[in-house]
């Protein structure tokens, strides 16, 4: 391994630390008593509570002034200045702990622990006066140095997306502002989970490795089970398993599920992504719309304390209820096109006329979907339910109670993007079998997104499935919306990346 000059120097420092009899990676716990933030916020009003504090974190800056120094210690909650004076931490003749360890051998990035007392410097900054300094873990690789001046200008920012995503640990260390996105992501999931649990719906886990990749239309990742000698697919959806659990007699089941789709990657698509799917018995899609808008409002308030959020250029109002409009009416209202009387040939001609990219493999439903995507989607900024989709593209939803050729389905659009998708679930096993057959016909016609037939799923439905409404929410996209991020990579700790060049070469050697 080729080491840089600075890496060589840090390894040499490591050796010298050991020679001083100091373990650079001590095993025992460190008795942390406070977070930086607690001291910064609390010292002002209750200075007596901070006469002995013990904090730990990374050393992020050293300002040495001879026999005394200021430094900055960064922990999970933020940064605090520490004051280190020679005679307070070193008591031997040589003042080893200060002159050698602190001044020479500690580097930016090292984990240290300090004990001391909070005080205010003469410029009024709350700091910790160190009386005892402990090295907790030596860093042998230099971090990027990001500095912020008095006016808040960031200097030498660590912004290269490739490095930020590949080395997220560095990103979150030197760019602590991004931590908030992930804290909000976690909180959002907790808010949803608590919301569902209060209603006594059951959180479940269903198979990721599936013999048939059903429940959605997408190309799967394929793998192989050695002992059974069969192919298995990483799930592209979990819908058919959750419905089996509704058949089994649970009133409500939900799962936060990683899905895997072997398709393109860009700023809104990652090969693995998180969906939340929920199925509730004895409900329909109208009930589900009320549930979803209550949930989304609850999330906005839980994360931000308010319902109106700034997303990009737009201010979005998440307060329920949301506008509801059928797909046909939306195409008419937003696109000025009445498709209610059009057959497949007329729709195809209309697409061609408008230069919408279509081909002969597309059935009526798919053509309408294309028109909708082209004419309407981008205009749906405020939360809007689009309801009642063509039957052809929705093989798992129940036929509409009054409208011929439609199903009871809605999608929730916000800021021009789909956030949620829900149905009154099809529970008629004879109809369900016919729908799968129609999908097979579409597949024969060349539609590679047509859905595969799952005999065991049909068998479960034949035993009897209660009327049910089901919902899927793209968690990554919801987090993007709620944290005002425009790329999925910013809301995933470890977005999928191409292998690093260095690794590739090493693999080729093997």
Partner RNA sequence: GAUCGCUUAGCUCAGCUGGUAGAGCAACGCCCUUUUAAGGCGUGGGUCCUGGGUUCGAGCCCCAGAGCGAUCACCA
DSSP-derived pairing of the beta strands 202-203 and 252-260? parallel
Q: Give yes or no for residue 488 binding RNA (CB under 7 A).
A: yes
Which residues pair with residue 384 across a beta bridge? 323, 413
Q: Give yes or no for residue 230 binding RNA (CB under 7 A).
A: no
Residues making up the chain, counted from first to last: 510
Q: Count of residues binding RNA (CB under 7 A)?
A: 76
Site map (CB under 7 A) of RNA, residues 457-476, x = contact: -----------------x-x
Interacting positions 28-67 with RNA (CB under 7 A): 61-67
Of 247 and 488, which CB lies nearer to RNA in the complex structure?
488
**Binding test (CB under 7 A) with RNA, winner from 33, 52, 159, 315:** 159
**Binding test (CB under 7 A) with RNA, winner from 55, 73, 80, 107:** 107
H/E stretch holding 328: helix 327-335
Site map (CB under 7 A) of RNA, residues 375-414, x = contact: ----------------------------------------
**Binding test (CB under 7 A) with RNA, winner from 115, 244, 261, 364:** 261
Of 413 and 457, which CB lies nearer to RNA in the complex structure?
413
Of 5 and 19, which CB lies nearer to RNA in the complex structure?
5
Of 161 and 207, which CB lies nearer to RNA in the complex structure?
161
Contact (CB, 8 A) for 199 and 252: yes
Q: Give yes or no for residue 3 binding RNA (CB under 7 A).
A: no
Distance CA 127, CA 63 (A): 14
Q: Return the DSSP state at 23.
A: -
Q: Give yes or no for residue 150 binding RNA (CB under 7 A).
A: yes
Q: Output the CA–CA distances (angstroms, integers) from residue 206 to 52, 179, 261, 453, in the order listed.
A: 50, 30, 17, 19
What lies within 8 Å, CB to CB, of 223 at 6+ separation is: 209, 231, 232, 233, 234
From 42-50, 332-340, 400-408, 484-492, give the range in contact with RNA by CB under 7 A.
484-492
Shortest gap between Cβ of 244 and RNA (angstroms)? 22
From 38-46, 116-124, 278-286, 304-312, give the range in contact with RNA by CB under 7 A.
116-124
E-assigned strands of 211-346? Answer: 222-225, 230-234, 252-260, 272-281, 308-311, 314-317, 323-326
What lies within 8 Å, CB to CB, of 264 at 6+ separation is: none
What is the torsional sign of CA 338, 339, 340, 342? positive
Of 119 and 287, which CB lies nearer to RNA in the complex structure?
119
Shortest gap between Cβ of 250 and RNA (angstroms)? 25
**Binding test (CB under 7 A) with RNA, winner from 501, 508, 509, 510:** 501
Of 465 and 478, which CB lies nearer to RNA in the complex structure?
478
Distance CA 113, CA 380 (A): 52
Of 266 and 456, which CB lies nearer to RNA in the complex structure?
266
Q: Output the CA–CA distances (angstroms, integers) from residue 483 to 161, 182, 213, 224, 420, in the order listed.
A: 18, 9, 32, 38, 17
Contact (CB, 8 A) for 398 and 427: yes
Shortest gap between Cβ of 306 and RNA (angstroms)? 26
Site map (CB under 7 A) of RNA, residues 121-140, x = contact: xxxxx-x-x-----------
Shortest gap between Cβ of 221 and RNA (angstroms)? 11
Interacting positions 308-347 with RNA (CB under 7 A): none
Of 343 and 357, which CB lies nearer to RNA in the complex structure?
357
Which residues pair with residue 256 across a beta bridge? 276
Contact (CB, 8 A) for 59 and 103: no
* Exposure string for 223-253, b = 16+ CB within 10 A, e = fewer: eeeeeeeeebbbbbbbbbbbbbbbbeeebbb
Of 464 and 499, which CB lies nearer to RNA in the complex structure?
499
Interacting positions 179-218 with RNA (CB under 7 A): 216-218
Interacting positions 420-449 with RNA (CB under 7 A): 449
Q: Give yes or no for residue 17 binding RNA (CB under 7 A).
A: no
Distance CA 378, CA 344 (A): 24
Q: Return the DSSP state at 498.
A: P
**Binding test (CB under 7 A) with RNA, winner from 30, 117, 158, 287:** 158
**Binding test (CB under 7 A) with RNA, winner from 477, 478, 480, 482:** 477
């Amino acid at each position: 391994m080729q080491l840089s000059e600075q890496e060589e120097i840090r390894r040499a420092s490591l050796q010298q630390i050991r020679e001083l009899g100091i373990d650079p990676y001590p095993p025992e716990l460190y008795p942390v008593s406070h977070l930086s933030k607690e001291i910064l916020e609390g010292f002002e009003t209750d200075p007596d509570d901070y006469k002995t504090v013990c904090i730990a974190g990374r050393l992020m800056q050293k300002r040495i002034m001879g026999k005394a120094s200021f430094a900055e210690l960064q922990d999970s909650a933020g940064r605090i200045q520490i004051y280190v004076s020679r005679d307070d931490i070193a008591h031997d003749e040589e003042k080893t702990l200060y002159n050698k360890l602190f001044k020479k051998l500690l580097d930016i990035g090292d984990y240290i622990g300090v004990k001391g007392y909070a005080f205010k410097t003469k410029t009024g900054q709350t700091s910790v006066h160190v009386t005892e300094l402990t090295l907790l873990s030596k860093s042998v690789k230099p971090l990027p140095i990001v500095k912020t001046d008095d006016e808040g200008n960031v200097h030498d920012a660590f912004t290269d997306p490739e490095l930020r995503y590949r080395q997220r640990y560095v990103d979150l260390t030197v760019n602590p502002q991004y931590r908030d996105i992930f804290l909000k992501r976690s909180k959002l999931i907790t808010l949803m989970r608590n919301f569902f649990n209060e209603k006594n719906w059951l959180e479940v886990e269903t198979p990721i490795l599936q013999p048939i990749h059903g429940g959605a239309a997408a190309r799967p990742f394929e793998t192989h089970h050695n002992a059974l000698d069969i192919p298995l697919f990483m799930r592209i959806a979990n819908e058919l398993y959750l419905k089996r659990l509704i058949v089994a007699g649970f009133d409500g089941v939900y799962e936060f599920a990683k899905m895997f789709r072997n398709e393109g990657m860009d700023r809104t698509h990652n090969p693995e992504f998180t969906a939340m799917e929920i199925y509730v018995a004895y409900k329909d899609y109208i009930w589900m719309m009320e549930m979803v808008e209550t949930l989304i409002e609850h999330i906005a308030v839980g994360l931000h304390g308010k319902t109106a959020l700034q997303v990009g250029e737009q201010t979005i109002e998440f307060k329920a209820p949301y506008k509801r409009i059928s797909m046909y009416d939306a195409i008419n209202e937003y696109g000025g096109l009445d498709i209610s009387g059009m057959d497949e040939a007329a729709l195809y001609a209309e697409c061609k006329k408008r230069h919408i990219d279509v081909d002969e493999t597309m059935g009526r439903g798919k053509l309408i979907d294309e028109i909708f995507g082209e004419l309407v989607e981008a205009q749906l900024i405020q939360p809007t339910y689009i309801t009642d989709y063509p039957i052809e593209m929705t093989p798992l939803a129940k036929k509409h109670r009054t409208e011929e050729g439609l199903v009871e389905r809605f999608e929730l659009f916000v800021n021009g993007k789909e956030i949620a998708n829900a149905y009154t679930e099809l529970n008629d096993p004879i109809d369900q079998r016919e729908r799968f057959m129609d999908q097979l016909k579409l597949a024969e016609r060349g539609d590679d997104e047509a859905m595969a037939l799952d005999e065991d799923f049909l068998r479960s439905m034949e035993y009897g499935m209660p009327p049910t409404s089901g919902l899927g929410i793209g968690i990554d996209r919801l987090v993007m919306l709620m944290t005002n991020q425009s790329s999925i990579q910013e809301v995933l700790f470890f977005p999928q990346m191409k292998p690093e060049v260095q690794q590739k070469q090493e693999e080729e050697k093997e």
